Every structure is written in C-alpha cells, then in structure tokens.
Amino acid sequence: MLEKEELKKIKKSRGKWESNALKKTLERFPERKEKFVTGSGKEVARLYTPDNLEEFDYIKELNFPGEYPYTRGVQPTMYRGRFWTMRQYAGFGTAEESNKRYKYLLDQGQT
C-alpha cells in the first residue's frame, strides 16, 4: 500500500481537517445520529482514508474482479462486457433476523 511517510502525512492532514473544517460544520449542523450503521448492523465511520488500510491484505480482502470475495462483482470484466442486472436481495440485517422474519411471514400465511 502506501509508504509510512505518506500515511503520516495523511493522518496529519486528517487531524487538521477534523479540527478546522469538520469542527466548524458540526457546530452549525450536528450529525443526525450518534452512530450510523449498515443494514447488517456494522458501524460506518465518518470517513475512511488509506490509514484505515495499514494492515490491508489486497488479495484476501479485495482481490480482482470475478475473484473471491467478489467485492468487485462476479464478472472478470466487471460490467464492461455484460450489463449490470438487478438481483433479488434475500434477507435483511443478520441471518438470524432474516430467519425470524421468514418464519413470521410463513406463520401469517405467506407462501
């Protein structure tokens, strides 16, 4: 990834940004919630920068298009060769929450 000096520079710049631009904006317009989370309950940070990736393993965690863990899509050409298609999303939240919802719907007569 990036050299240590470059990461230090980014961290320093981020600190300046937080104490100047961000602080002023938050004083006028506080964030709507104390914490933001994904539909699966994972907390989302305010900002992600390369210093969040110091221990990042490119092949294991991102890899190439068409390769596990499919973070760049299932097609090696991404969507340059085949159109992007909408797929049904089965479930919401955690697996346990989805299972509970499905059982509830079945109990209510859903087929």
Q: For residue 28, give its domain range.
A: 1-52
> Do residues 58 and 50 touch, judged by C-beta distance below 8 A?
no
Q: How many residues does the chain have?
A: 111
DSSP class per residue in 38-71: -TTS-EE-S---GGGGTT--HHHHT--TTSTT-T
- Listed in sequence order, the residues at least 6 apart from 32 whose beta carbon sits closer than 8 Å to its beta carbon are none
Is 20 part of a structural domain of the chain?
yes
Q: pLDDT at position 111, please?
A: 78
Look at residue 15 and tell me if it is in a domain: yes
pLDDT of residue 1: 59
Instruction: Check residue 89 and give its pLDDT.
Output: 66
User: For residue 74, what are the contacts with CB-CB under 8 A and spacing of at least 6?
Assistant: 66
pTM of the model: 0.55
Is residue 71 situated within a structural domain? Answer: no
Task: Identify the pLDDT of residue 45.
Answer: 93
Q: How far apart are CA 62 and CA 70, in angstroms?
A: 8
pLDDT tens string 3-49:
888 889 999 999 999 999 999 999 999 999 999 999 889 999 999 98
The verdict on residue 5 lying in a domain is yes
pLDDT attached to residue 30: 95
Residue 53 CA neighbour count, 13 Å, CB half: 16
d(CA 72, CA 78): 7
Q: What is the pLDDT of residues 53-70, one digit of tens each?
A: 878 888 898 888 889 988
What tens digit of pLDDT does each residue of 58-102 get?
Answer: 889 888 888 998 888 888 887 777 777 766 667 778 888 888 988
Domain count, the chain: 1
Does some domain include residue 11? yes
